[in-house]
Amino acid sequence: MFTRVARRAFTTTRVNPYKVTVLGAGGGIGQPLSLLLKLNHKVTDLRLYDLKGAPGVAADLSHIPTNSKVSGFAPDDNGLSQALSSTEVVLIPAGVPRKPGMTRDDLFSINASIVRDLATAAGEAAPNAKILVISNPVNSTVPIVAEALKKKGVYSPNRLFGVTTLDSIRASRFISEVHGTNPTQEHVNVVGGHSGITILPLISQTKYSTMDKATKDALIHRIQFGGDEVVKAKDGAGSATLSMAQAGATFANSVLSGLAGERDVVANSFVDSPLFKSEGIDFFASPITLGPEGVSKIHPIGEISSEEAELLAKAKETLKKNIEKGVQFINN
C-alpha cells in the first residue's frame, strides 16, 4: 500500500517549461526539426525565426495540440531579438547546404558570417542559452560561435554544442545493416568532428571489433561520407534534412533532459574539450554528460585500436586547420 506522499510521487508528471528557439526554422532542416520540437513535452515556448517563412511554419505547427506555444518571427520589427529573448536553448540550422561536388568547407564563405551574426544576437538577447550549432562546416562554425560569444563577454564552454548526432545515428543504422540487427539496439562511439575523415567511428569498442578488415573499412568509410550519399541522391536539391531533424531533435532532448536535472544523460557532441587541447585542438567530439549547466562532464574517447589511432592522427590534422579557420575568421 502506498502512502499518500508516495502515491503522489508515482503519479505526478513534471512539465519543464523550456523556451527553445530555432534560427533557420523555415528551411529543409528547420521545418521538420520545429515539428519534432513541437511534439516534445519539455518544450513549452517554441520560437521560430528565419529570413523568410517562419511565421507560416509557426502558424501551421500551432494547430498541433501539444502543450507548447509556437511563435514565428521575421527579420523586421526586431524579430531576431524577440525570438531569442531569454530563451534557454537555441538551435542553429541557418545557412546554405551542399550541392554535389562540394565539401562542407566550401560552405564556409557563406555560412561563417550567417552563424557569426546569429551567435552575436544570441549573446546579446540570451547570454545564458545553450547553443546547438547545426550549420556547416560544424568543425569551423562552432569555434566561430565561441569567438563571437567571447567578443560579447558571455562565452561559457559548457553552453556550446556542435551537433554531431547524425553521425551517431548513421553509425547505428549502417552497422545494423551489415550485421542484420536492430538499429535501435546498436551504439557506436563516433568521435572527432563532423566532416569526412574527421568523423571517427570507434568500431573496436563495439561487439563487432573482430569483423573482417574490408567490411570494417567500408563501414567506416560509409559513416564518414554518409552525408555525400544524401547530397548525391538529392542531386542539387540540398543535403540531409529529415534524418538531421531527427538527430537535432534527439540531441536537443538530451540537452533539455540535462537542464531538467535528469541523471546520466550522455550523448556525443563537438564541444570545447580538454581532450586534445595540449595538441592545439580546442574542440573535439566525444561522449559528454549533460546537466543543468549544459556540459557537466567530458568523457575520454576510450581505448582504441592501432588502426583507429592512425585515423585519429589524420582526423586531428584536419580538425586543427578547420578550428583555426573559424577562430581566424572572427579575430582577423
The residues annotated with a catalytic role in the active site are 194
CA distance 58 to 72: 5
Minimum distance, C-beta of residue 122 to ligand LMR, in the bound complex (Å)? 21
Minimum distance, C-beta of residue 141 to ligand NAD, in the bound complex (Å)? 8
Is residue 196 a contact point for ligand LMR (CB under 6 A)? Answer: no
Q: Is 26 annotated as a binding residue?
A: yes
> From the list ligand NAD, ligand LMR, none, which binds 28 (C-beta under 5 to 8 Å, kind-based)?
ligand NAD
Cell readout for 294 is 549544459
CA distance 111 to 139: 12
CA distance 223 to 190: 9
Backbone angles phi, psi at 301, to 5 degrees: -75, -15
> From the list ligand LMR, ligand NAD, none, which binds 30 (C-beta under 5 to 8 Å, kind-based)?
ligand NAD
CA distance 314 to 196: 11
Cell readout for 303 is 581505448
Minimum distance, C-beta of residue 161 to ligand NAD, in the bound complex (Å)? 11
Q: Is 264 annotated as a binding residue?
A: no
Q: Which is nearer to ligand LMR, 68 or 239 (CB)?
A: 239
Is residue 170 a contact point for ligand NAD (CB under 6 A)? Answer: no
Task: Return the residue of 240, 247, 271, 301 that touches ligand LMR, per CB under 6 A.
Answer: 240
Task: Return the residue of 30, 32, 79, 287 that touches ligand NAD, per CB under 6 A.
Answer: 30
Task: Return the residue of 38, 42, 47, 104 that touches ligand LMR, per CB under 6 A.
Answer: 104
* The residue to which cell 574542440 is assigned: 283
Task: Return the residue of 231, 247, 319, 330 that touches ligand LMR, per CB under 6 A.
Answer: 231
CA distance 306 to 291: 33
Strand pairing partners for 131? 90, 160
Is residue 133 a contact point for ligand LMR (CB under 6 A)? Answer: no
Q: Is 6 annotated as a binding residue?
A: no
To 10 degrees, what angle do helices 138-152 and 108-125 make?
Answer: 40
Is residue 142 a contact point for ligand LMR (CB under 6 A)? Answer: no
CA distance 132 to 101: 27
* The residue to which cell 568523423 is assigned: 199
User: Comparing C-alpha atoms, which of 88, 96, 141 is closest to residue 118?
Assistant: 141
Q: Which of residues 149-168 bind ligand LMR (CB under 6 A)?
A: 166
Looking at residue 63, the DSSP 8-state letter turns out to be T
Task: Name the residues that contact ligand NAD, by CB under 6 A.
Answer: 23-24, 26-30, 49-52, 93-98, 107, 111, 114, 118, 134-136, 138, 163, 166, 194, 238-241, 244
Task: Name the residues that contact ligand LMR, by CB under 6 A.
Answer: 97-98, 104, 136, 166, 227, 230-231, 239-240
